[in-house]
Amino acid sequence: MCLTVICTDVHTPSSGMLPGYVSGHYSYDEAHIDLPRLAVFAGARLYRDDVVGIDRAGGKVLCRNRPPLPYDRVSINIGSTPHLSGVLGAGAGGFVLVNDQLQTLTDLNIFAAGDIAAMPNYPLEKAGVFAVRMGLPLAGNLRRNVQGRTLHAYQPQSNWLALISTGNCYANTPLNHGAPEDSSYSASLNLHRASKTPVSANSRTRHLTPAP
């Protein structure tokens, strides 16, 4: 099975690290993913180009600066800045409507995940805590689809943590998302970037503390 990645940039920023990068807490290399290196590790081909369309009838991805690329399956993972209003299969705001198996509603050979995807059964916020969890289910269903096997339904987590950066390597968590309303809390978190100390939440005190 051949995997091809098409992206306009070869160093893609981590949106979650953007505030820290702007504040000077992270270097450029720390806040960006080196796609050529990642592609080599994954055994994938990497093309730097803009995708301008998909020829579903011909089974080809249309690029701005290179000939069309044939495909068997396509996965759309372009983040939360779509320009797809009026495009077949796009929902409100231009996001791509997908089923619980992360297949687009208009073409089961085209998948979408992350912020670009909109799940009718799960009206999720556009947040990285959901996007990153879609990665493994997406990869598994792409393999199963190619092999003609039954796909698995993806079920988003019901609880997640929200962090608001306050600068100086600290962050606040105003809400325990998904928990009962009376369990809302506020806590302060030292990110410990330099020492890379892992962080855990104490369920009794609801304060975030460095993990042992």
pLDDT tens across 118-137, in order?
A: 999 998 888 778 888 899 99
Among left, alpha and beta (phi > 0; psi -120 to 50; other), residue 108 is alpha
Same domain, 134 and 109: yes
Same domain, 176 and 91: no
Phi, psi of 6 (to 5 degrees): -120, 125
Please report, in angstroms and rounded to a whole number, the separation of the first and last CA atoms in the chain.
42
Give CA–CA dist 24/168, Å, rounded. Answer: 9
Same domain, 189 and 122: no
The yes-or-no verdict on residue 85 having pLDDT over 50 is yes
CA 6 to chain centre: 16
Q: What pLDDT band is residue 78 in, cutting at 50, 70 and 90? A: confident
Closest by alpha carbon to 137, among 162, 103, 108, 105?
A: 103
The yes-or-no verdict on residue 174 having pLDDT over 90 is no
Predicted confidence at residue 158, as pLDDT, reads 82
Same domain, 38 and 82: yes
Same domain, 81 and 166: no
Among 112, 146, 180, give the residue marking a domain's end. 146
How many structural domains comprise the chain? 2
Same domain, 165 and 74: no
Give CA–CA dist 47/10, Å, rounded. Answer: 9
For residue 154, is it within any domain? Answer: no
Q: Which domain holds residue 194?
A: 160-210
For residue 172, is it within any domain? Answer: yes
Between 209 and 9, name the one with better pLDDT: 9
Between 183 and 170, name the one with better pLDDT: 170
Q: Is the pTM of this model over 0.95?
A: no
For residue 110, is it within any domain? Answer: yes
For residue 155, is it within any domain? Answer: no
Same domain, 135 and 78: yes
Same domain, 140 and 111: yes
For residue 153, is it within any domain? Answer: no
177 close to 197: Cβ distance less than 8 angstroms: no
The yes-or-no verdict on residue 181 having pLDDT over 60 is no
Same domain, 115 and 21: yes
Give CA–CA dist 58/184, Å, rounded. Answer: 52
Same domain, 29 and 129: yes
Q: Which of 20-24, 83-87, 138-142, 154-158 has the lowest mean pLDDT?
A: 83-87
Same domain, 140 and 117: yes
For residue 69, is it within any domain? Answer: yes
Q: Across the chain, what does the average pLDDT equal?
A: 79
